[in-house]
Amino acid sequence: MDTEEFDRALLLRDSGDLAGAFDAFEQLRVKFPQDASVHGMQGGIARDLGMLHEAVALFKRATELAPVSEVASAGLFYSLFDMGHRDEAFSELRRYLSLVKIEKTRVYSILLRDFSNLNEAENVLRGRLTIARGANKRKT
């Protein structure tokens, strides 16, 4: 991995040049196709740019390369969830949690802390989305 190029890409992202950062990570991804962190970083930038289809593809590849990367898994979960692919999102959550203990997670433990189990979390989150969609329809 070329840390100088990686750092330059991060500086672009941190300065708000998301398009430039996306392109810089694309160049890194071509050079280092087996590096999960490059895929994950570019996936996060794609999410920030509203490019959810690209984010999903990048996070999927990151989770293939690093199956226990919680950041890549959470990025994939939220990208799928935001696209309306709830079943796929929760499948990813289950996949990840089957590999690690919930106590060892940081991102997912925040998502699940108010629920007694994953099924309850899934039901509540789906219910909230249904309620929110119904409220939005009534406003129009």
- Residue-wise pLDDT for 52-73, tens only, equals 999 999 999 999 999 999 999 9
CA 20, CA 9: separation in Å to the nearest integer?
8
pLDDT, mean over the chain: 84
Range of the domain at 73: 3-98
CB 79 within 8 A of CB 52: yes
Instruction: Tell me whether residue 94 is in a domain.
Output: yes
Report pLDDT for 17.
97
Instruction: Tell me whether residue 137 is in a domain.
Output: no
Instruction: Tell me whether residue 135 is in a domain.
Output: no
CB 118 within 8 A of CB 105: no
Please, which residues have CB within 8 angstroms of residue 45's CB and are 6 or more apart in sequence?
A: 13, 18, 21, 22, 25
CATH code, domain carrying 94: 1.25.40.10
- For the chain, what percent of residues have pLDDT higher than 90? 63
Burial of 46 (0-12, 13-18, 19+ CB in 10 A): buried
Condensed to tens digits (0 to 9), the pLDDT of residues 95-121 reads: 998 888 766 677 777 666 666 666 676
| 104 DSSP assignment | G
Instruction: Tell me whether residue 126 is in a domain.
Output: no
Q: Give the distance, in angstroms, between the CA of residue 121 and the centroid of all CA atoms in the same chain.
A: 18
CA 70, CA 111: separation in Å to the nearest integer?
12
The count of structural domains within the chain is 1
Instruction: Tell me whether residue 128 is in a domain.
Output: no
